[in-house]
Amino acid sequence: MSKRANPTAVGAFVLAALALVVVGIVVLGGLQLFKKEWPFVMFFEGSLTGLDEGSPVVIRGVKIGTVSRIRLFATAPGQEPLIGVYVNIDPSLLPKGGEVQGEKRELAIADLIKQGLRAQLQTQSLLTGQLLVYLDFFPDFPAVFARRDPTVQEIPTIPTTLARLQARLEALLDTIGKVNLNELTV
């Protein structure tokens, strides 16, 4: 004669199994195992105060990725060090990005760079001073590559609007400083 199963033990076993399934889904979902991301690097000069791992990467206001790592690269003596900003970008959010796979990816990004795709640091919050990486098309700026990390495809960068203004003001002040005021009098 068989012994009758304890309903409390069976219920506890079923609840424990369901709890394990829920925990497994949460853990696997948090790891984003099946999410495709493309790694890129961008090289900036100057201070990156306010840019951290996890900072957003946006293209025309749409978040397409995050900063994954920031690394300092040495340069020649007397030059400012370059700062490599590594990002992971969701290809489905890039123009034509979701349509290309494998080796065609590098060609698609190279085509976007030819069209003027550049990276620039922008202020995310004036209150906190946080920065973000802003991607957009700037065809008037030539693509300048630092070529410091050949393992990752590079997106060229341009200076911020404030940095460009500062450089122009410095050049203007240098020009004014060279003017001989005695020669200007009538």
Looking at the structure of the chain, the number of domains it has is: 1
Q: Is the pLDDT of residue 186 over 60?
A: no
- 90 contact partners, CB below 8 Å, separation of at least 6: 35, 36, 37, 38, 64, 65, 97
Q: What is the pLDDT of residues 70-95, one digit of tens each?
A: 999 887 787 778 899 999 999 888 76
Does a structural domain hold residue 89?
yes
Within a domain: 102: yes
| 134 found inside a domain | yes
Which strand ranges, in their side-by-side order, compose the sheet holding 82-89?
Answer: 117-123, 131-137, 56-59, 62-73, 82-89, 38-44, 153-154
Find the domain containing 108 and state its range.
38-170
The answer to whether residue 144 is domain-embedded is yes
Angstrom distance (rounded) from CA 40 to CA 157? 12
User: What pLDDT, on the 0 to 100 scale, is given for residue 63?
Assistant: 94
Q: What are residue 48's phi and psi, to 5 degrees? A: -115, 25
24 assigned to some structural domain: no
pLDDT at 127 over 80: yes
Residue 23 covered by a domain: no
pLDDT score recorded for residue 3: 78
Within a domain: 184: no
11-55 confidence digits (pLDDT tens): 888 888 888 888 877 777 655 555 688 999 999 988 888 999 999
Average pLDDT, the chain: 83
Q: Structure pTM? A: 0.70
Give a yes or no: residue 20 inside a domain.
no
